Amino acid sequence: MKFKAKPKDPEIAQELFSDFMDEDGYIHGWYVDGVIVGDFVELNDEYAILEFWCPIDIETLEVIE
């Protein structure tokens, strides 16, 4: 299930995560304990590398699929 939410710090998010944000300023991905995370870039038995992770304003969290 994917989610969208507004970043906790919109100014920093605009610089770092603009590729993942929609025109309304929501970032899209999977919700994990206060952050929205992107796809796995690399995953193995020792570690996981995510495309991005962004702290969010929990009050703006919405399910999108």
What pLDDT score does 15 carry?
84
Strands 3-5 and 40-43: unpaired
- Which pair of tokens denotes residue 27? 């970032």
Q: Which residues pair with 24 in a beta bridge?
A: none
- Span 6-39, pLDDT tens digits: 999 888 888 888 888 899 999 999 999 999 999 9
User: Residue ranges of the domains in the chain?
Assistant: 3-63
Per the listing, tokens 């996981």 go with 48
Could you give the C-alpha distances from 36 to 22, 41, 48, 61, in angstroms and in order?
14, 15, 15, 9
Q: Report whether 27 contacts 5 (CB < 8 A).
A: yes
pLDDT at 19: 86
Q: Is the pTM of this model over 0.75?
A: yes
